[in-house]
Amino acid sequence: MATEGKGDTATTATTTTSPTIPLHRQELLKWQGWGYRDSRFFINSNGLIEFSGSRYLLSGHVLPRLKDWMFSKLNASIDNYSPSVQEPNPDYIQEPILNNSFITDFQSTLGSTVQYSADMNDRLFHGHGHTLEEIWKLRNGGKFERLPDWVVWPRSHSDVEKIVRLAVKHNICLIPFGGGTSVTWALLCPTNEKRMIVSVDTSQMNKILYLDEKNLTARIQSGIIGQDLERELAKKGYCTGHEPDSMEFSSLGGWVATRASGMKKNVYGNIEDLVVHVTMVTAKGTIEKSCLGPRQSIGPDINHVIMGSEGTLGIVTEVTMKIRPLPASKKYGSIVFPDFESGVACLREVARLRSAPASIRLLDNEQFLFGQALSTDNKGMLHSLVDNMKKLYITKIKGFDINRMCAATLLFEGTTNEVNQREKFVYDIAQKYNGMPAGEENGLKGYTLTFMIAYLRDIGLDYRIVAESFETSVPWDRVIDLCRNVKKRIITECEKQGVKHPPFSSCRVTQTYDAGACVYFYFVMNYNDIRQGGDPVHIYELVEEAARDEVLANGGSLSHHHGVGKIRTKWIKQAVSDLGVGTMKSIKEYLDPDNIFGSKNLIPESDEVNEHLKAKL
Amino acid sequence: MSVFNSLEYDDLISRHRQSSDILWALKYWHHPLFDIKEQSIKSTKLINKNTQISSIITPVHYKTLPRNSEQIKSDVLNSLALKYTIETLDNEANGYEQAKAIIHEMSHRLNIRSARFLAFVFSKIFNQVYENIYINRRGMDNIYQLYSLTPINTSPTIPSSPITISSTLFAILNTFSRSSSSINSDTNLSSPLTTKHYLTSPRIIYLPTHRSYMDFIILTYVCFEYNIPMPCIAAAQDFLGLGLLANLLRNCGAFFIRRSFRSDQLYWTIFDEYVKTHLVHGDYPLEFFIEGARSRTLKTLLPVRQGMLKSCLECYFRRQIDNLILIPITINYEKVLEDNLHANELLGIPKPKESKSGLLKATQILKKSFGTMNIHFSDPIYVHDAYESFKKQEENKSNNHSDTFNRSVPRSLQPRFICQQDAFTVSEQKFSDEISYRVVNEQQRRTVIYPITIAAYSLLKSPIVTTSKDRSILIEQLVIDKNILFTENTNILEHFSSQYQISWPVENDKIILKDRLLAIYSDVFEMTRNNFLTLKMSGDRLADASILMKLIMYRNTCLHIFAKPAYILLACQVNSQFPISYEQLKTYYHFFVHLFAYEFVYDQFPMDNTNDIYFDRYLSYWITMNYLIPSDNSTYQINSNFLQQISLITSPFEQYARAYLLIYEQENLSSEKNLSILIKIYQKALLTKLDPNNIISILASSSNVISNALRTLNFTTKSKILSELRHMLTKIFQPKSTHLRAKL
């Protein structure tokens, strides 16, 4: 099939990638949980938790201590098994709203080049993201009030232009779909949308159009997912270095649309630092800058209008992105600190001296202890003897308190020389703050677990445990207060809502900046024995809301990289002021007067609702 | 209302009388939050190292908590806020020296040894002068819960049994084992935080009423008794005159602050930082008197002083702490230690300077009996919850869009290390007003009414006490009046507060009542004839006035309970010839509510243009009581059969209103702007006309009443409001009052 992307004219080195994700995503991915169908935690015949499949380092391994941790720390029990429904219930998929004139027009003009589907499973998969509420609904066979009526798979920029043109002509609602890893309800269809909703899945726009080795940039179609992008670039000796935790599934277009952040941003930068040029198709046509100059003073940056627009302005189709030669050396590391405060102070110092490694993450005590529970296989006698000696040394001689100590994981990248120097430098700083190097192995383990955490929620849900994470960014002087207060708020709010078992409330500092840090919170709650008539998801929502209020009161941001979606629109006014929201609105009204991109993300609906009510009266 | 029930209370005195004071003072005292530090050599080094690294992230290491007073001082001196202030004052060289001097003068030196000494000395004194010291069990349980301790009722060891050597030993053993046992046992209580209590220790602020010097000591004493952390107490600098005793107070946690220093930026910064450092690190609870000074009138001092509370609240608004726990405490004295001094001061006889010789004189006091003391810990107010619900209320109230040109800088944008005096946003300020009023209201809800209050109410019924008949009262009459005031009208009083308690002899035993009044208030009463309680009037102008003033003070302790409902009766009473219409009654009611805004504590501070929600309820109550008779065209008239009861209830309020009128009638005395000087001018003028037999005259000469009356004038629009108020009061009282009195 010939694609006529406008990139074609300039293509010098089009790469034909072999995409990981098939057209019908549910063939490879779980429809009711995170990740690959073949990879999941389960309790094996020995009654221990094991990870299945063969895709990950952990695959096929048993985690002997995890079950104990789950059952003792969270008071879970093997008897409270609550499996997911096996298949989506067809009765719960509402009849699609179809716009026949659009369909005939589409079939006659694009039918031969652009694949489309009205299949129930495709529609369901494109109608949700991965927040707890959504997964809960899927697992319990709940009904989504509104789903996309159609899914289309454009293959190029011009396909998208044609689709949007048709949508404008026939007044169709379009919702862009990248990797489907949203955790902000951004993919949920507005329930009051009466037009036909078409989900535009960019997954077939997955080619690297060309590599520009002189400028170290690459022109890439927006639908490529992180792992494919890195794999293909690596074949040529390059990388982008953008590694969000969801990189296995999330797409370039999604990163741009939500202002994503990668783990290794200290070396490579966040998405806004990486993007040189971006092309987006709006309801009025294509918007882009006409120059690849590295920095431009030409008014407010149009790229920044596109970045973070969360699918409300258009569909990102192609991106020119910085690339870097693959690092010669890559080294993991870890440090243990006597307490969280010392750890934060150390990270602050590292940031102050601008000597941060590619990645530096500080786990709090709860997560540090949890990390111990995730170790694989019981070690040999000698090994555990050594472990015990270490533990004795740390707790007895160094005076660390096991209920306070925490750990940082590090990742160094660069030339061998750079890496060694940086490593020594960082460890020297750590020593000033009573940190002790704790070995490469622990660092590596920490980073492997990054991809596992999302899978863990599914086994939690199997045993009546709900879990979620949320993030924020905050100035340095408030980091410790924010972490402590939010963790405490989660616990007190759970108590208030009648949660019987103490929740797991934990945080980690995942990014450092000159003026602040990014903090990630984890909240795990066993919902057995909750107050009568209590709905765990509702309680969970109340707790999350209280926690978010607390974050804001502590001077934290509404979001560091997840975005606003629909889950956080109620705070956007507070975050950017009335005038800020007005500015966003007027951009939206100019670019999309008919609300073709009607996902209703980002901008609060309240005024519309009021007008609606007034009209009714 | 409830009759005082001693079962809900612990009595310190009866417990102490059964045991040795010295053993008690030497008992094992264990801080519930901070373990005895088992620091290895290495970890001590670690602490030292940590304190050396001055970082904005971790100013204080958890292992150094609780800090001693020197560490606290140096933390304040090294704080960024102080650095910033000194830099802005542009006086760097001198600044630090000044700061050091200020903090040296201010700082407390709380230590357990001095607390033991104080406990020993005062257990001797208390056992001598008080019959009982009651502490409510529930309040103590709440505090124990905050510290994740086992409540008193369930643990037999803490101090419900008399202290002997063996019980002391037993207690020592038990406190050792408690730390480990309480974690595992008792799942109801051990919150998830029990094992991780260091996540945040509770930030407690004790807010007692302030009637007597005793208030400074009593809470520390109680904390020692119950093994809970002893508070740091804000005291006024006047106490430094006490020399040794001031030092003892200092060692027991008192820190001394100047009376007014808002204009002194350096002092203010140090004070602010000093208060905050205690809360931020959570190593000591704080105690301060929200009224700002001892209330000589035994009534709440309004308006509430917010300075210190605001510093505390700011820690929460800045989220340096996750929550703040306010515990209002009501300390009720049957007889206030220094009631003589109070009465004299109110009449303009100056307060003797705090001195050692004064203290010696005070030892005379030890020979007298001061009845019972009742300490009531109210339920904790969690500032976070209060603020959340306050914000919700505000959201519902106003829909208007904020002025985009006149923004108030949100907390998340304000730098946290700078000490700003007016950093409060509009809603924070409003909340601060509301919560401080709530605290005094909460304190007043827990009033305990002693027989003296009722005796004073009865005796001062008529405003003139010239004849000996007016000056004495039959014991039987006290019982009758008590029933009118408190038994018959329980329902209406409960609207304001269901919490006050009445301490009264069982079965109205008249002999006990009489003996008690005579024994405790021998300076006021004497017995004449049979069962007649008579005032000890000597004929000396000021001495007589002072005796009446004392009665006024004791009557004051219960007036806030009656205030709002009584306004309705008062309005009807002064209009007794004609029926009064609903609207007019309501106008009068609101008039009184606003007139006495600083005189009596209500459920909330009266705002302009607000309709009091209780008006209708009170009105219908008086109708069901048959005190008021409604006629068909919604007018109301007083039921003359109940005139005696009604005039009893309204008598204090009529007296206050007339005293206000007397004050307002003073022709333009001065254009002085300073309130305290103005008060003195007024008082001087009024004292010259003092009639020691006229309660209204005495009231009008009281500095407190003058200042409240002047405050009501609201300063800025003074002249206009003055003429309005005067007109209104004259209209109400002047033309008919002669008539009314003739009737009585």
Q: Which residues of B479-489 are buried (b: 16+ CB within 10 A; e: fewer)?
A: bebbebbbeeb
Does residue A90 have a cis bond before it (omega within 30 degrees)? no
- The answer to whether A320 is annotated as binding is no
Q: Residue B404 and residue A344: Cβ atoms within 8 Å?
A: no
DSSP state of A465: E
CB contact under 8 A, A555 and B319: yes
Of B39, B42, B191, the CB nearest to A398: B42
The partner residue sitting opposite B49, judged by closest CB among A396, A434, A479, is A434
What's the pLDDT score for residue A1? 37
Query: Regarding predicted confidence, which is higher, B12 or A3?
Result: B12
- Average pLDDT of chain A is 88
Disruptive mutation site among B49, B63, B319 for chain A (greatest number of A CBs within 10 Å): B319
CA proximity to B247, closest of B77, B99, B118: B118
Contact A379, A387 (CB under 8 A): yes
pLDDT score of A159 more than 80? yes
Of A436, A475, A478, residue with least CA distance to A334: A436
Active site residues of A: 520
Which of A73, A341, A474 best probes binding to B when mutated, by most B CB atoms within 10 angstroms?
A: A341
- The reported pLDDT for the residue numbered B104 is 92
d(CA A175, nearest CA chain B) in Å: 33
pLDDT, average across residues A563-571: 93
Residues in chain B within 8 Å Cβ distance of A348: 55-57
- The yes-or-no verdict on residue A189 having pLDDT over 50 is yes
| pLDDT of B642 | 86
Whole-number Å distance between alpha carbons of B124 and B122: 5
The pLDDT, as a whole number, for residue A418 is 92
Per-residue pLDDT at A616 exceeds 60: no
Residues A608-617 have a mean pLDDT of 48
Provide the residue count of chain A.
617
pLDDT of B631-667, one tens digit each? 877 888 888 888 888 888 889 998 998 888 888 877 6
Inter-chain residue contact A341 with B58, CB threshold 8 Å: yes
Q: B193 — contact with chain A (CB < 8 Å)? A: yes
CB A460, CB A450: distance < 8 Å: no
Check if the beta carbon of residue A48 is closer than 8 Å to that of residue A67. yes
What sign results for the dihedral spanned by CA atoms A539, A543, A544, A548? positive
Kindly state the percentage of chain A with pLDDT values over 90: 65
What does DSSP assign to residue A383? H
Q: Are A403 and A339 in contact (CB under 8 A)?
A: no
Cα three-residue angle A220-A224-A228, rounded to 5 degrees: 105
B358's CB contacts (< 8 A; 6+ apart) are: B352
Instruction: Write the DSSP string, A89-119.
Output: -GGGSPPP---HHHHHHHHHHTTTTSEEE--
Mean pLDDT in residue range A132-161: 92
A344 assigned to a ligand binding site: no
Query: Do B45 and B53 form a contact (C-beta atoms < 8 A)?
Result: no
Q: B7 in contact with A at a CB cutoff of 8 Å?
A: no
Residue A588: CA count within 13 A, CB half-sphere: 23
Give me the architecture of the A208-325 domain, per CATH.
2-Layer Sandwich (3.30)
E strand or H helix that includes residue A341:
helix A340-352
- What is the DSSP track for A4-56? --GGGGG-SS-B----SS-SSGGGTB-SSSSSBTT--EEE-TTS-EEE-SSSS
Pick one of 1.10.10, 3.30.420, 3.40.1130, 1.10.1200 as the CATH number of B11-29+103-150+199-354+364-397+411-445: 3.40.1130
Question: Is A160's pLDDT higher than 90?
Answer: yes
Contacts of A553 in chain B (CB under 8 A): 319, 411-412
User: What is the rounded distance in angstroms from the CA atom of residue A210 to the CA atom of residue A230?
Assistant: 14
Q: By three-state DSSP, how is residue A349 classified?
A: helix
Minimum mean pLDDT among A76-85, A320-329, A604-613, B538-547: which range?
A604-613
Q: Judge whether A180 is annotated as a binding position.
A: yes
- Token pair 């890439």 is at which residue? A220
pLDDT confidence of residue A576: 92
Nearest to A363 by CA among A465, A262, A453: A453
- Are B193 and A341 a contacting pair at CB < 8 A? no
Bridge partners of B327?
B206
The DSSP secondary structure of A563-601, one letter per residue, reads --TTTTGGGHHHHHHHHHHHHHHHHHHHH-TT-SS----
Q: Among A376-385, A442-451, B423-432, where is mean pLDDT lowest?
A: A376-385
- Whether residue B283 contacts residue B64, with contact meaning beta carbons closer than 8 Å, is answered with no
B194 chain-A contacts, CB cut-off 8 A: none
Q: Which residue has the tokens 């499949």?
A: A53
Taken in order B363, B367, B368, B373, the sign of the CA dihedral is positive
Query: What are the strands, taking DSSP E only, across A11-170?
Result: 41-43, 49-51, 62-63, 115-117, 150-153
Domain boundaries, chain B: 11-29+103-150+199-354+364-397+411-445, 448-555, 560-732
Q: What end-to-end distance do the CA atoms of chain B give, in Å?
A: 31
Q: How far apart are CA B548 and CA B212, in angstroms?
A: 19
B417: chain A residues, CB-CB within 8 Å: 477
Least confident of A361-375, A378-392, A403-417, B499-513: A378-392
Residue B39: list chain A partners with CB under 8 A. Answer: 399
d(CA B589, CA A396): 72
Distance from CA of A214 to the nearest CA of B (A): 44
Q: How confident is the model at residue A164 (pLDDT cuts 50, 70, 90)?
A: very high
Q: For an interface test with A, give the residue of B45, B46, B52, B58 to mutate (most A CBs within 10 A).
A: B58
Tokens matching residue B369: 């009996």
How far off is chain A from B192, nearest CA to CA, in Å? Answer: 6
> Amino acid identity, residue A67?
K
How far is C-alpha B506 from the geometric centre of its chain's CA atoms? Answer: 29
Neighbours of A214 (CB within 10 A): 6
DSSP string, B2-55: EE--GGGEEEHHHHHHTS-HHHHHTS----SSSPPP---HHHHHHHHHHHHS--
CB B323 within 8 A of CB B203: yes
- Who among B192, B198, B319 is closest to A485 (CB)? B319
The beta-carbon neighbor of B200 closest among A433, A476, A488 is: A488
SS3 B226: coil
Domain chopping of chain A, boundaries: 208-325
What is the pLDDT, as a whole number, of residue B94? 83
Residue B259 CB-density burial (10 A; 0-12 exposed, 13-18 middle, 19+ buried)? exposed
Helix (H, G, I), strand (E, B) or coil at B142: helix
Q: Quick one: tokens of B154?
A: 């369930």
Tokens of A491: 């616990």
Q: Is the minimum CB–CB distance between B189 and chain A shorter than 8 Å?
A: no
Q: Which of A344, A487, A553 is nearest residue B57 as measured by Cβ atoms?
A: A344
Contact A434 B50 (CB under 8 A): yes
User: CA nearest A509: which of A385, A395, A384, A345?
Assistant: A345
Residue segments in chain B with a per-residue pLDDT below the cut of 70? 1-2, 34-63, 92, 150-200, 350-365, 398-404, 490-498, 608-611, 667-672, 714-722, 734-744
Q: What is the pLDDT of residue B516?
A: 86
Residue that wins the pLDDT comparison between B112 and A204 = A204
Half-sphere exposure of residue A487, counting CA atoms within 13 Å on the CB side? Answer: 26
CB < 8 Å to A399, chain B: 39-40, 42-43, 46
Q: How far is B412 from chain A (nearest CA, A)?
A: 4
Q: Which residues does residue A281 pair with via DSSP β-bridges, in sequence order?
A: A286, A315
- Give contacts of A345 with chain B, Cβ < 8 Å: 53, 55, 57-58
Beta-bridge mates of residue A437? A335
Helix axes B307-317, B383-397, angle to 10 degrees: 90
Mean pLDDT over all residues of chain B?
A: 79
CB B497: neighbour CB atoms within 10 A? 17
